[in-house]
Each structure stands twice: as C-alpha cells, then as structure tokens.
Amino acid sequence: MTARTTYLDKGVVSAMSALSAAAKRGLGDPALAELVMMRASQLNACAFCLDMHAEIALKNGESPKRIALLNAWEEAGELFSERERAALALTEAVTVLTEGFVPDEAYERAAHHFDEAGLAHLIGVITVINSWNRLMVSRRIEPGGTFS
C-alpha cells in the first residue's frame, strides 16, 4: 500500500490537534482516552492511528494484554472496568452509526458512568479520532508514516 498523499494543511492539523487535546483534557482520563482512540481505530481499520495510540498507551503504562484484547473487550471478562466498557460501547455506537443514530442503551450506559461534562468530552474524543481515522485511511498513511 502506497500513500496517496502525505500533504495535510497545517491549519487542519492544528485545529484537529487542539480539538483532540481539549477533549482528552476534559475527559480527565488519559488511559481511557487512548483505549477509546484505539477501539475506534480498530473499527475504522486505521493502522496509522492504532499504531500511534497503542504506542502512547504503552508508554503511559497500559498493559500489552489489555491492548491485545481490546478488540474483544466484551468477552475479556473483568479485564476492563464497567466504566471502560461503557465508554467502549459508546465508542462503537458513535463510530458505527447503525441506522443513523446512537442507540439509547449505549448512551445511557455511558451516562451512568460519566457526568454531563465527562460524557460530552468522551463524545468529543470519539468524534475527533473518527475524523483522524478518516484523514489517515483515505490517504493511506501507513503506521509510522508522516501526515503533514
């Protein structure tokens, strides 16, 4: 696979980076933010983002086992907390908009574990990683590649 283009406007990179930083900061849980970004990247088959966020997660103390089992988080037993599981379920619902909406069950499950601001920031993290995934996948940026 060869990159179609590595060019990305610096203004876009700056705006997306600022949005990502604000959402992650507001969520207040860097480890969860990385799990969410990795799960969305798995669903979107974005090798660039998955590679980058797995590396960040490992550097920040995430276990290789949890990263390896993230794709099967629902079957991983108690390896992921109820709060993490709720965030991952919402990640899947927002990333794969089934019939054009996020099911009430996924939203309410997350709302049980996050206050209103936390839920808004979680949705922000999910939204921005989906945007990054689309920017990287559409241009075929490979893991470890450059994007600007």
Residue 41: inside a domain: yes
Q: What is the mean pLDDT of each run of 10 residues along the chain (148 residues)?
A: 80 95 96 98 97 96 97 96 98 91 96 98 98 93 77
* pTM of the complete model: 0.93
Q: How many domains does the chain have?
A: 1
Question: What is the per-residue pLDDT for 144?
Answer: 84
CATH code: domain of residue 41? 1.20.1290.10
Secondary structure element (H or E) that encloses residue 147, with its range = none
Residue 45: inside a domain: yes
Question: What is the per-residue pLDDT for 89?
Answer: 98
Burial of 37 (0-12, 13-18, 19+ CB in 10 A): buried
Residue 11: inside a domain: no
Structural domain for 117, as ranges: 29-139
Residue 51: inside a domain: yes
Distance, in Å, from the CA atom of 132 to the CA atom of 53, rounded to the nearest integer, reads 12
Question: What is the per-residue pLDDT for 1?
Answer: 67
Residue 54: inside a domain: yes
